[in-house]
Amino acid sequence: MKWKAIAPMSASPTSAENLAALYRLAQIYHAANLHVQAEGLCRRILASDPGHALAVKTLVLILIEKGDDAQVESILIDHLKRHPDSGASQQGLGQLRARQGDHDAAVKHFECAAESLPFHAPLFNDLGVSLHRLGRFEEALVALDRAVELDPAFALAHDNRGIALFDSTRFDEAMHAHLLGLIGCEPSEVQVRASILQNLAKAAQKANRLPLAEQVIRAEVESNFSSAAAEQLAVVLDDLSRSEEAKAIRNESARRTRVRWIGRSQRPKATILLIGAVGGNHIPTGYLIDSDTFSTLSVTLPSRDQTNAPFSAAETQALKRVDIIFNVLGDADCDEGQLAAADALCKTLGKPLLNPPNAILKTGRGRAAELFGDIDGMITPAARRASTKYLSEHSVTEPLLVRPPGDHGGDRLTLLRSDSEKESYLAANPERQLVLTPFYDFQSPDGYWRKYRLIFIDREVFPYHLAIGSEWLVHYWRAEMARADWKRKEEECFLADWRSVFGKYAANAVEEAARRMDLDYCGMDCALTRDGRVLLFESNACMLIHLCEPPAAFPYKHRYVPLIREAFTRLVLARARSHSAQAEGVADEDNQRAFTG
């Protein structure tokens, strides 16, 4: 059967019937991802009937996908002038304000929309999310309760309700909400389901009900396998101190996924192979690698105690076609031979290599003092690996940071100030290896705590973010930067000229640390002491970067953070081209020798 193109209506629409036909055609085009055609039809409809609500809605969706917020705002405001009671346009403006980070304005638009859309569940979900972002948890729960009352199968609203309950320390209720979200989520929504499972496990840990989370996540893995769900099951097993079972789950996931494409480009400038391994802590590459420039393959090697079956002929051929390898095993504290396995594969493939596995070994927390301890202008606390038995036998006489190896998010980082706090910690964390680090007070003179993140691309320093919090455990997501203009202004100054913020003494120390790390991608988290020195928190290759903040609230981040990805892109292309040129030069020499011989 040959499909025929749908001929657009040539006559100018003048009747309701013609407008309805045009809109049906616009819907078909939109569903087929023919957005240019759909946009053109919506604009034709609105030229005849500026108040056509459905055409406004579809056009707004198309413009949102294009990232054209200015036109979205103009269209919605114009529609509200004509139809002040349009709940859909009020909701659209609320969604726009929420994306821009202005949740106060978003709430006002959602509340206006609710007057004309009192039975629209997605609206109350939007309202609940914005109220939650403002820290108005009880009001958020009222809105989210309304959303799930109107639509009991609304998976996203149940999940958001669970997040709000978690932040209200109602952990058992949060678990129940996430379970309802999982029930309502379609099996095909693999990534959404994995996110719900992660939230469920987080609530279960706080509620001391990890066995229930294990049961639910295991059922998901067995009936609707995904690598993300398998990893979440392994995380829960790790938290239950069943590390061998966790490793077995990860090995099975590695065998099932094998070589996989995780990013494609129509005409890539280079193809990157990401090499990871079971048990390793991997470098987050989601934002770092530009999917418009590179095509990407990913391989996760089984743990060293497994029989590493050879790749199939097709898989081996795919690996040999890559232009460059990026070792994404970034944490020496998690290594149990994975780095050696990755190194062996890299040598077999013989391609240019970023972050050589053997170079990662020096970056463990326990070796930081050895690597950086003599840098003038830097304080490097001496971290050490220890068992819970060791901790139980030694008194806490000075503030001490305790965390499991490989922890980077701060969720399992604890500050112990006394033996009583130590005993409580050990009761909740039995039989676990730990990293112990002396705690240095880094509170600023104004009473806040500041944590700076800098990224090193090919030994060059790039500022990434500044988090300013009211407690010592400061992370960007905890600092509520979007709610304080003065915090954002200070962060902008840091991103614009980090050396001036640090001063020459501390800036020189950071640049020396970047040289000593000697990696293609890594970074450091640190603070500035009152006497102008750098206090190192950690420096390794597992530094997360992303750009999720709304441009309207964080315009400076959208100017400076992309510089990191651009530098990484230049590095990849330069290394790949250099290797290609060398290979061509060797081939030319071989051909010349054959010709003259």
The domain segmentation of the chain, as residue ranges, is 258-363, 382-438, 452-560
Q: What is the 3-state secondary structure (H, E, C) of 77-144?
A: HHHHHHCCCCHHHHHHHHHHHHHCCCHHHHHHHHHHHHHHCCCCHHHHHHHHHHHHHCCCHHHHHHHH
User: Across-strand partners of 526?
Assistant: 452, 536
In this structure, are residues 99 and 550 in contact, taking their beta carbons and an 8 Å threshold?
yes
As its CATH architecture, domain 452-560 has 2-Layer Sandwich (3.30)
Rounded to a whole number of angstroms, the CA Rg of the chain reads 27
pLDDT on residue 309: 62
Considering only CA atoms, which of 240, 174, 288, 254 is closest in space to residue 571? 288
The reported pLDDT for the residue numbered 330 is 93
Partnered with residue 282 across adjacent β-strands are 329
Pairing of strands 534-540, 378-379: parallel
For 386, the enclosing helix (H) or strand (E) is strand 384-387
**Res 5: pLDDT:** 45
Beta-sheet pairing, 353-354 with 324-327: parallel
Tokens found for residue 435: 């990293």
Type of residue found at 25: L
Place of tokens 């001929």: 7
Q: Could you tell me the two tokens for 109?
A: 């638009």
Helix 210-223 vs helix 190-206: angle between axes, to the nearest 10 degrees? 160
Q: What string of pLDDT tens digits covers the 597 residues of the chain?
A: 344 444 444 445 557 778 888 888 988 888 888 888 888 998 998 888 887 888 888 888 888 777 778 888 888 988 888 888 888 889 999 998 888 888 999 999 999 999 999 999 999 999 999 999 888 999 999 999 999 999 999 999 999 999 999 999 999 999 999 999 999 999 999 989 999 999 999 999 999 999 999 999 999 999 999 999 999 999 999 889 898 999 999 999 998 888 888 766 678 999 999 999 998 889 999 999 998 899 999 999 988 888 666 677 778 888 888 999 999 999 998 888 899 999 999 998 999 999 999 999 999 888 999 999 999 999 999 988 888 888 988 999 999 999 888 777 666 789 999 999 999 988 887 767 888 999 999 999 999 999 999 999 999 999 999 999 999 999 887 788 988 999 999 999 999 999 999 999 999 999 999 999 999 999 999 999 999 999 999 999 999 999 988 887 899 999 999 999 999 999 999 999 987 656 555 444 554 554 455
Q: How far apart are CA 519 and CA 123, in angstroms?
A: 47
What CATH architecture is 382-438? Answer: 2-Layer Sandwich (3.30)
pLDDT, position 489: 97
Phi, psi of 85 (to 5 degrees): -95, 15
Which fold is adopted by the domain 258-363?
Rossmann fold (3.40.50)
The 8-class DSSP code of residue 483 comes to G
* Residues 545 and 287: beta-carbon distance below 8 Å: yes
Distance CA 364, CA 435 (A): 10
Q: Does the predicted model carry a pTM greater than 0.95? A: no
